[in-house]
Structure 1
């Protein structure tokens, strides 16, 4: 090991951010913006000393995950969030369910772990649909 370097695990580094923190920060900067941002504009909005290449890598990963969309602008891209925060959460929930071979059991356990208030809300949403129209009244809820 080179002189001056300590042999310690990367996860134990005090300067190491928790997994997903940078992605969450980048998404927050995009949500707070009034329009598309370049990687440099995202870096400035974050107010950190991250390298532009690091921000570009994070944006590229978020694009691959479908969390942001990008459009050519000059020689690079500008980025916008693909969904609002609740939409992204819903997308992640669907992705996790899609990964499980036993989707029925995973969904049943998710519902079993909900508190009374969330169960009530879920019942209402299932009965009335996300737009508030009752599926019992012959209205077809949007899917």
Structure 2
């Protein structure tokens, strides 16, 4: 009877689990804050919680496959760094979405139609090369 009263350790871990995308975001943010390439062990040390080394390596590998990170050998490990900043990553995602569509004109039109007026004006200025007023 006593064994049934104790809560399983797995239930506790479930409460602390984060979604895969959230973990990727945390790892990427840690690398961006560092400003220099980090090994998986260094990334693990900067993150809150109790992520295992293998979990950090898995997340770094996924981000590498997604072309978000670059890696270089450092001793017996690899050191990872983001390819660009947050704005650059957002732009890369937008490019990938657009590249995957055969109806680019429709996608771009709907995107532009959905912009707030100030964003539409900014886009117009960027496309025409007119400098923004400061």
- TM-score w.r.t. the length of structure 1 is 0.77
Alignment of 1:61-76 (within 5 A): 61-76=62-77
Could you list the runs of 5+ residues in structure 2 that have no partner in the other structure?
Answer: 9-13
Aligned pairs, number: 122
C-alpha separation in 2, matches of 1:106 and 1:76:
42
C-alpha separation in 1, matches of 2:24 and 2:100:
21
Secondary structure in 2 matching 1:83 = coil
Higher relative helix content: 2
Q: Which residue number corresponds to residue 137 of structure 1? A: none
Secondary structure in 1 matching 2:84 = coil
Secondary structure in 2 matching 1:26 = helix
Q: CA RMSD in A?
A: 2.1
Could you list the runs of 5+ residues in structure 1 that have no partner in the other structure?
Answer: 6-12, 133-143
C-alpha separation in 2, matches of 1:98 and 1:16:
34
C-alpha separation in 1, matches of 2:98 and 2:23:
25
Q: Which residue number corresponds to residue 102 of structure 2? A: 101
Secondary structure in 2 matching 1:48 = coil
Q: Which residue number corresponds to residue 83 of structure 2? A: 82
The verdict on how the C-alpha distance between 1:89 and 1:52 changes in structure 2, with shifts beyond 3 A counting, is same
C-alpha separation in 2, matches of 1:34 and 1:113:
35
Runs of 4+ in 1 over 4 A off after TM superposition: none
Once the two structures are superposed, what CA deviation does each residue of 1:48-107 show, in whole Å capped at 9, x if it has no partner?
201111111111111111111000112220001100110010001001111222122111
Alignment of 1:40-51 (within 5 A): 40-51=41-52
Of structures 1 and 2, the one scoring higher in RCO (CA 8 A, sep 6+) is 2
